[in-house]
Amino acid sequence: MRVLGKRDDGYHELDTVLQTVSLHDTITFERTDDDDIRMWCDDRSVPVDKTNLVWRAAAALRERYSISHGVKIRLEKRVPAEAGLGGGSSDAAATLMALAFLWEIEMSEDDLAQVAESLGSDVPFFLYGGTAHATGRGNVIEPLEDSPQKHLLIIKPNASISTAKAYRTLNRSALTSADSKPILFRSQASNFSASIDQNALQNDFEPVVLEQEPEIERAKNALLKSGAPAAMLSGSGSAVIGIFDNQDAQERAIQAIELETGWRAFPCKTVGRDRYQSVMGAAGEIS
Ligand code: C5P
C-alpha cells in the first residue's frame, strides 16, 4: 500500500492492491412495512445506531431513493474492528447490495458506487471483491485478474488503530519529514504481482505504525518466525497478515505461532471475484 501524499480535500492519494478474504461477518436483513431501521449485533461493543456504517448505508439508500419501507438488520461480527481489515466497509457494501434488492431499488452500478464511496473510501471495492488495484482515496477500483489462492493467518494484536489517526501519524512522521521524497518516489514503482516474496510487499503505514505500537511489530515477527514466507500490516493496522504457499504451511504456523495474551488468530484464505460475487449475489456463506 503506497500513500502518495495529501490531497486538497484532506484525504490521501493511494496506490494499492486490495484483496477479499474468507474471514467475514454475517448480516441478515428483513424488510418491514414501517420506515424504521432497526439493528442488532451479537457483539455488544459494536454500536447499533447511526454511528454504525451498516445503519448509515441503509439510511443513505432510504433517503436518496425516498424509500417508505424499513428493515431489521442482524449483524454477527467476526472481523475485528480498528484492525485495517475493512470489516465495517464490507458490511456497508453488503447492506447496499441487499437493500437495493429488498427495497426493489433500480440503480445503476455507478449510482451504487457513488453511495458506497460517500460512506467510506474502501466501500466501493467490496461491491466487486477479488483482487483490485485501488487509486484516488482508495475509491477508484480497477479489477485485476484473480491471483492464485493463498492461505492466510491474520493476527489481531491488542492494539487498535483508528484509520484517521494512522493517516495523521503518517503525516507527522513521514510525509512532512525529509523522508517524504522517498515515499513519493517509491510509490511510482508499484508492483501488482501476486508475489509472496516479502521484498515485493510494501505498506507505507508499516514503519510509522510499527514504531508507534511495538506490539504490532512483535505480531509480524511471530508470523515470520512461525514459517510465513511473508507478513504485512493490513491497511493502517492493527492486524497483520501472514501469507502462506499452501494449507500445510498455514496449519503448521497455527500450531507453532506464539500468541501473546489477548491476541486473536484468524486462519482464512483469499477469495476470488467469481466466488465473492456469486456468494454476495446469492446472499450465502463464504467458505
Ligand atoms: O474514507 P474513510 O471514512 O474510510 O476514511 C477515514 C479517515 O481516514 C478519513 O477521515 C481520513 O482522515 C483518512 N483517510 C485519508 N485518505 C484516504 C482514506 C482515508 O486521509 N485515502
Model pLDDT, residue 179? 43
Atom 19 in ligand 1: residue holding the nearest Cα: 11
Question: Which residue among 15, 121, 209 is best mutated to probe the pocket of ligand 1, counting the most ligand atoms within 8 A of its Cβ?
Answer: 121
Model pLDDT, residue 173? 67
d(CA 83, CA 203): 14
Model pLDDT, residue 283? 52
Kind of pairing, strands 12-19 and 26-32? Answer: unpaired
> What does the chain come to in residues?
287
Burial group, residue 20, by CB count within 10 angstroms (0-12, 13-18, 19+)? buried
Whether the upstream peptide bond of residue 180 has omega within 30° of 0, thus cis, is no
d(CA 267, CA 277): 22
Question: How far is the centre of ligand 1, averaged over its atoms, from the C-alpha of 255 (Å)?
Answer: 36
Among candidate residues 214, 199, 204, the one with its CA nearest the CA of residue 157: 214
Model pLDDT, residue 187? 35
Give mean pLDDT in consecutive 10-residue pieces for the chain, a chain of 287 residues: 93 96 97 95 96 98 96 98 95 97 94 97 96 97 93 97 88 55 36 60 93 96 97 96 96 98 98 94 54
Question: Which residue among 4, 9, 163 is best mutated to probe the pocket of ligand 1, counting the most ligand atoms within 8 A of its Cβ?
Answer: 163
Model pLDDT, residue 139? 97
One-letter amino acid for residue 137 of the chain: R
Model pLDDT, residue 195? 54
Helical pair 87-102 and 109-119, crossing angle rounded to 10 deg: 140
